[in-house]
Structure 1
């Protein structure tokens, strides 16, 4: 089995914190999710999370005008320059302090970064390779408090900065003689947004109290005058060179100019008149409630549309400068954190960090283009569908969500549970999801009609912490935390069939055998009980453990049982003989980090940690294990060794990530997190109060702790998923980078393969291609085989290459358009080698499931296309019939007119004959 799994996507979280950005064409929105960024393609309805990550949560994102580069800045000021084309990190930089906003100039040559009360202008990285991509150009001082927002003029000559001190500052990007800096007041609260008018120096400023000021400049952009060369050599009043080292630059770099703004403005020089502003008008929003602060704003210059978001979840659209209300809508009951408008001005993106919600609204048609929300509390469980196309997740928010793996989006959410969902599972049909919850119910959901069609309850209220469904889908079992019992229901009738008693502690996990009607239950009473579902619900075997049992899992062939216990061990049992066949001690592999409030070292705390999630691989040779740690381990069962460790996250914004104490947080009284003075002040980490429920954020804010709550291998074996504090992480095999030849010698070359093709030796060419194991060459050979020769080639292949060819066809069929050709290959292989494959059914099960997944996906796509074509054909036939009826009516009218005309002619001729006779 290959272990080259790499991070491929992040599901379950669409927005966390920071600003949204639209791509250059306006069809994609870029959203920061924790310490990563996700790109949502709104046209093709797909999502992708880039394989780059910052050290801490991303605070702001700056996108270049051409859409090729992005600057990601985390909470501490560490920045990454990322290429959105190659999805690689190009440069690392540290601003040493938290950054409020980043903005590129419209010409892409410079960008401005604001931190504290300083604005720093850098030269933007070019296309040439350079040692330092960020070169400081100018440093601007002016505001007395932290800066909040930036905007540029359309020609990149000036930029404006808003501040928390209720002032707005206009700075010149070049050394203009008549505009060095300008300070604007007029507000009584924090500046949320400041925007230049299109091709003008006119300004709009928006404050948190819902006031908007319209500022008019007495100078056009063309009226800015460059300072003469000789004047630049001597200091100018209002602009001083910085003498002391303020740490803005780095050693060996140019310091750049320093411009210091003053509230009274720069002194005018002879012959030059400074740019001046006057307040043209001031408007106020109609706010309802005392806490309805304006929290986000965006302005689209070509259409003069201002979008403002409020703390109550309401947003307004106004047309400036007249402040005409166009539209108002409430999209949420939480604070709108960020607003962004795409280049055409049709779509507006909203981010709500409280709910982890991302919305894209088309304001002209008043409809949602995109609406996604993750689990705003931790994810608790996940399950793959039998065909591997979907993943169902349950969270502490009481919701069950179903995600499409290919698009990365959630397409249905079930909200019937009123408490945390502890487990979810798919039925064997793939169209039924069963979930257990702490609200005392087990619910079954139908994916055809998207409804809750069964609700299972117990005679006495119980909190269900575990769930299992038998292979046939007829029996539903759930284990209770408080009553120590296992309940069995019938899926068909919804009735309670049996209550299994015998455990002396909470039932922590349940698992049905894949091949027999046997239920395995593990409990804190240090036992695993095997229940026979066919023999009066009796206990078949009882396995004694060395410590409290946490999780149990059957091997796919049902011949082995894996149990994880509280002492950090994974033990393997033969369920037939009830003998232990092996064990793995994985306590030291977890490498638990040290929490900020811990008083013991990480090494000591790791001794009390254990695995809480287990999952066998598709071939049963390896097992995936995770727990309250940032690591997921893959063990080889037969050799009982650790094969690989995966680091789920490197985000230091989460707790229990660092193994050693951070000396910067140590005081003479000890760790800052343990000092009671200052608890509840600022952004520090607060201690949890006794009796506060997990996830309760009403009294004290807390720092989320990294943990892995559930693990599952895909049925195809090509990927695995983990629910963690970060979200739903998908790791998949990258086969393009792995060269794995099979039975290779010197005679096997691409030239010899193509020689066999020219000689029409199809079977020999396929064998040689598989020995080289290059996908491109194998596809070339398979597609060169004539359609009529496929059954002959399938019957003459050696046994070992039948499985390889079937696996190759399953992988190619997923992305290739030659449906009938490859389906003929699959049909011939399965019909002519059925007996050989049946003897190795366990080994080729992932291949068959991968083939089934590809066929099912093509079937759904083709069925939708056929339905659409049938609709179009019926519409065309109906329209043609309607036009035919209309044309027939017109023909009848024309015929009647012709007949009337002929009658009149006959009458006229008859009258002429009569007159002739009379004469």
Structure 2
């Protein structure tokens, strides 16, 4: 089974940022998913939930257990942040601008259109309808934009696009029903109550801050008394009856008349002061604001990428910095007030700034254009991606974060790969260069170019890491360079169309090239770079890949087929027709149906699984298909996204957009005066002449299986999606018998029959039991147990040790198991024919775990070593000083004795 594991390559798209209750994690909306970045442990996680369109706002409950996630259409999900499950679906039917829970967690307010809606927050009891509307608050004439609550949840304030701010009572207060504040000349971006007060700050888009003072404290709010319906009275006695005390009912409830009740004074506000951010007069829109009540710090973000920190109410500037050249879309402050989170939707940036030390806690940015290619490192520890923005980024698969970005390319990166050592990344680009990057020193140490400028569309590096090859899409040639010297070795000509894909054999020095001229050519690198074989295809070659053991070749062609070839005999061994499995959606502007357009689609990327038994295929579709190579049949289809904000997602057009003139998306909204549709300018998809807005099309540009066999990744329009093997919930016994029970396994442990206990545990195949058995074996018995294990269980045990080593703290114990298994059984495993296919992913998983621990421990050991050296040097220095002092004391004593002797009479 595979489940969605993580979304890399995209950290923020749009919407509001939130910090967790403890302030250590940032909750960021990424497209139609939600990612949580743990800043203390340096990890990231994408929740296994998704909305139907891009998320616009997220509201977190004060206890940090619940989140309300709302998308562009107003469809909302209630999500538990503890179990990561969806608890409730709801639809607001209109776009929602903001959502905020009350500090006591009992209510939450949602702003949509010109209304503020107050709902009862979902409680601990199981309700049929988790969203119960309490009250609707009207007043503003335009859309409502922002919300803030008082600390005791008695009142809330709502800002609007009509330049007014409205203070509402959350309960039925006698002296505050609503209060409207003016004073601004632009859209209200933020409104904030002072701590434990009704005093207010409002910030507008033109950079104006108004400070409002209330004449009433929070304790001064008086509840409205509920009056029962009075008894009918005579006309003449009306006034007298109202002024008198009346006793009604059997309980003797006292209802006082109006004359006796002192009239409550209504809450009033006055503008205390006004401040301006743009003092120089430059027009710089204020786009986001956040206020931290305990420290009185206001953070404001601007369209130019600048942010300011001010202390209120004095408006003292603490700090000002430019973090980007794009507009800041969202600002958030954590509970302690130390960290400030910024989101820039234009660049896809997410930054967390510690303002006191003036340093970045977290700084991540995705590819702000499409991702084009990816590759796993040989041990599966890292993923490298290249994008249309010309950047090459390296991601850590454990943390999900990017740790280095190379920006040397000046045009789209078309392909990336690791060398077999895992320390060098090679990338090809349309700028006419192939570059090699060093992961030790993080620098571009080789740049390969062709004699005449060429646009490189594909790339491959041989097993030794010495030969680098790249195919050109304009000159139909393949270029070969030496990694050692950087020189061009050969130009391979022969293809009659653009070279679309290159792949070196993992076991031989043979290069396979796919081209649009309907051939696959196999070039022998040892025999003066001659064509060894030419394989004829039925259509243009799109992608070619070798099986991990080098004994099979898979080719994807333009007609939607995947064909399998034996590279030694140059014969076709099978084919799969995948056109029907692509299931392309219909674009909004397409005039043909999805079924017709799918006939012209094909797979653009192929990848074998680590054991070589199945193949992954992806292309211009929202589906990734997994085929069994032996049976040549579809095993599973993954829908990589259900986000309707992308184009080509639905098979049929929306009926609501159909008019008598056809689809509304096909009707140009040009500024014509009835004389027909104006011809759009180049680059305009539809609509207004100056519009450059379009919906990105969903597609899979590259697929790769992890060398460890535990996960696979795909670069898509949405980002870099990682799917992992979920082994925790699957009961998958091996060679099960009636006598294989947990009781019999534990009996063998009591009898100290370690080897048979391990065999029985692996036959039952339950993770907790296997771990219990393994950790019960005494340390000195490990070599004996390893020597007596049957061969078939050696591979299973090695795989289990690799999985345990990744998370366990018993490093030496599991390392001893791994060392003994490899020492005692390594030669036998190597001699077996299926060695490469079955045991290699396990060994790579083991290598990945060891490498990770080595990286973590080596830093710690280095740190400790330097500390010990420092302490040793310090102690030596003190020893020398002490010795010098003792010598000085001795010399002084000797001098005294000598002077005494000299002074004695002879």
Q: Secondary structure at the match of 1:552?
A: strand
Distance 2:484 2:554 in 1: 31
Q: 1:806 aligns with which of 795, 798, 822?
A: 798
TM-score by length of 2: 0.93
Give 1:831 deviation, angstroms: 2.1
User: More displaced, 596-605 or 109-118?
Assistant: 596-605
In the alignment, what sits opposite 1:639? 631
In the alignment, what sits opposite 2:92? 95
Instruction: Go from structure 1 to structure 2 and tell me whether the alpha carbon gap of 1:897 and 1:340 turns closer, same or farther (over 3 Å shift).
Output: farther
**Cα deviation 1:209-236 (Å, max 9, x = unaligned):** 00000000000001000011118999xx
- Contact kept, 8 Å, 2:426 with 2:435, in 1: the verdict is yes
- Contact kept, 8 Å, 1:291 with 1:311, in 2: the verdict is no
> CA RMSD for the aligned pairs?
2.2
Equivalent residues in 2 for 1:557-636 (5 A)? 557-636=549-628
Q: 1:871 aligns with which of 858, 866, 869?
A: 866
Q: Confirm or deny that 1:292 pairs with 2:284.
A: yes
**Cα deviation 1:459-493 (Å, max 9, x = unaligned):** 11110000000010000000001001000011011
Distance 2:671 2:633 in 1: 45
Q: 1:841 aligns with which of 835, 842, 846?
A: 835
In the alignment, what sits opposite 1:854? 849
- Contact kept, 8 Å, 1:216 with 1:278, in 2: the verdict is yes
Distance 1:636 1:851 in 2: 26
Q: 1:831 aligns with which of 819, 823, 829?
A: 823
Instruction: Go from structure 1 to structure 2 and tell me whether the alpha carbon gap of 1:340 and 1:899 turns closer, same or farther (over 3 Å shift).
Output: farther
- Contact kept, 8 Å, 1:687 with 1:702, in 2: the verdict is no
Instruction: Go from structure 1 to structure 2 and tell me whether the alpha carbon gap of 1:66 and 1:233 turns closer, same or farther (over 3 Å shift).
Output: farther
TM-score by length of 1: 0.91
In the alignment, what sits opposite 2:238? none
Instruction: Go from structure 1 to structure 2 and tell me whether the alpha carbon gap of 1:698 and 1:806 turns closer, same or farther (over 3 Å shift).
Output: farther
In the alignment, what sits opposite 1:60? 57
Equivalent residues in 2 for 1:482-561 (5 A)? 482-561=474-553
Q: Confirm or deny that 1:308 pairs with 2:303.
A: no
- Contact kept, 8 Å, 1:468 with 1:477, in 2: the verdict is yes
Q: Secondary structure at the match of 2:665?
A: helix
In the alignment, what sits opposite 1:765? 757
**Cα deviation 1:189-209 (Å, max 9, x = unaligned):** 000000000111000000000
- Contact kept, 8 Å, 2:684 with 2:690, in 1: the verdict is no
Instruction: Go from structure 1 to structure 2 and tell me whether the alpha carbon gap of 1:572 and 1:884 turns closer, same or farther (over 3 Å shift).
Output: same
In the alignment, what sits opposite 2:178? 181
Q: Confirm or deny that 1:746 pairs with 2:738.
A: yes
Q: Confirm or deny that 1:355 pairs with 2:347.
A: yes
Give 1:509 deviation, angstroms: 0.3
Q: Secondary structure at the match of 2:807?
A: coil
In the alignment, what sits opposite 1:205? 202
In the alignment, what sits opposite 1:245? none
Give 1:572 deviation, angstroms: 0.4
In the alignment, what sits opposite 1:74? 71
Q: 2:124 aligns with which of 100, 124, 127?
A: 127
- Contact kept, 8 Å, 1:454 with 1:494, in 2: the verdict is yes
Q: Secondary structure at the match of 1:822?
A: helix
Distance 1:569 1:92 in 2: 41
Instruction: Go from structure 1 to structure 2 and tell me whether the alpha carbon gap of 1:729 and 1:387 turns closer, same or farther (over 3 Å shift).
Output: same
Give 1:288 deviation, angstroms: 5.8
What are the ranges of 5 or more consecutive residues in structure 2 without an aligned counterpart?
Answer: 232-260, 673-677
Distance 1:87 1:404 in 2: 23
Give 1:786 deviation, angstroms: 2.2
Instruction: Go from structure 1 to structure 2 and tell me whether the alpha carbon gap of 1:832 and 1:679 turns closer, same or farther (over 3 Å shift).
Output: farther
Instruction: Go from structure 1 to structure 2 and tell me whether the alpha carbon gap of 1:283 and 1:899 turns closer, same or farther (over 3 Å shift).
Output: farther
- Contact kept, 8 Å, 2:278 with 2:284, in 1: the verdict is no
Distance 2:679 2:538 in 1: 34
Q: Confirm or deny that 1:776 pairs with 2:771.
A: no
Give 1:903 deviation, angstroms: 9.7
**Cα deviation 1:28-49 (Å, max 9, x = unaligned):** 1111000111111111111111
Instruction: Go from structure 1 to structure 2 and tell me whether the alpha carbon gap of 1:395 and 1:688 turns closer, same or farther (over 3 Å shift).
Output: farther
User: More displaced, 821-830 or 604-613?
Assistant: 821-830
Give 1:874 deviation, angstroms: 1.5
- Contact kept, 8 Å, 1:763 with 1:793, in 2: the verdict is yes
- Contact kept, 8 Å, 1:688 with 1:702, in 2: the verdict is no
Instruction: Go from structure 1 to structure 2 and tell me whether the alpha carbon gap of 1:448 and 1:690 turns closer, same or farther (over 3 Å shift).
Output: same
Distance 1:157 1:898 in 2: 83
- Contact kept, 8 Å, 1:673 with 1:687, in 2: the verdict is no
Instruction: Go from structure 1 to structure 2 and tell me whether the alpha carbon gap of 1:508 and 1:156 turns closer, same or farther (over 3 Å shift).
Output: same
Instruction: Go from structure 1 to structure 2 and tell me whether the alpha carbon gap of 1:692 and 1:674 turns closer, same or farther (over 3 Å shift).
Output: closer
In the alignment, what sits opposite 1:238? none
- Contact kept, 8 Å, 1:753 with 1:769, in 2: the verdict is yes
In the alignment, what sits opposite 1:162? 159
Equivalent residues in 2 for 1:383-394 (5 A)? 383-394=375-386
In the alignment, what sits opposite 1:243? none
Distance 2:315 2:748 in 1: 76
- Contact kept, 8 Å, 1:573 with 1:581, in 2: the verdict is yes
In the alignment, what sits opposite 1:379? 371
Instruction: Go from structure 1 to structure 2 and tell me whether the alpha carbon gap of 1:756 and 1:668 turns closer, same or farther (over 3 Å shift).
Output: same
Distance 2:156 2:100 in 1: 10
Q: Secondary structure at the match of 1:476?
A: strand
- Contact kept, 8 Å, 2:305 with 2:326, in 1: the verdict is yes
Q: 2:101 aligns with which of 101, 104, 119?
A: 104
Give 1:576 deviation, angstroms: 0.8
User: More displaced, 397-406 or 808-817?
Assistant: 808-817
Q: Confirm or deny that 1:217 pairs with 2:214.
A: yes
- Contact kept, 8 Å, 1:311 with 1:336, in 2: the verdict is yes
In the alignment, what sits opposite 1:244? none
What are the ranges of 5 or more consecutive residues in structure 1 without an aligned counterpart?
Answer: 235-268, 681-685, 915-919
Q: Secondary structure at the match of 1:130?
A: coil
Q: Confirm or deny that 1:664 pairs with 2:656.
A: yes
Distance 1:278 1:889 in 2: 76
**Cα deviation 1:788-832 (Å, max 9, x = unaligned):** 222222222222111111111111111112222222222222222
Equivalent residues in 2 for 1:444-483 (5 A)? 444-483=436-475
Give 1:25 deviation, angstroms: 0.9
In the alignment, what sits opposite 1:255? none
User: More displaced, 803-812 or 10-19?
Assistant: 803-812
**Cα deviation 1:292-326 (Å, max 9, x = unaligned):** 10000011111111110000000011111111111
Q: Secondary structure at the match of 2:266?
A: coil
Q: Confirm or deny that 1:331 pairs with 2:323.
A: yes
In the alignment, what sits opposite 2:235? none
In the alignment, what sits opposite 2:404? 412
Give 1:54 deviation, angstroms: 0.9
Q: Secondary structure at the match of 1:833?
A: helix
Distance 1:363 1:185 in 2: 32
- Contact kept, 8 Å, 1:341 with 1:348, in 2: the verdict is yes
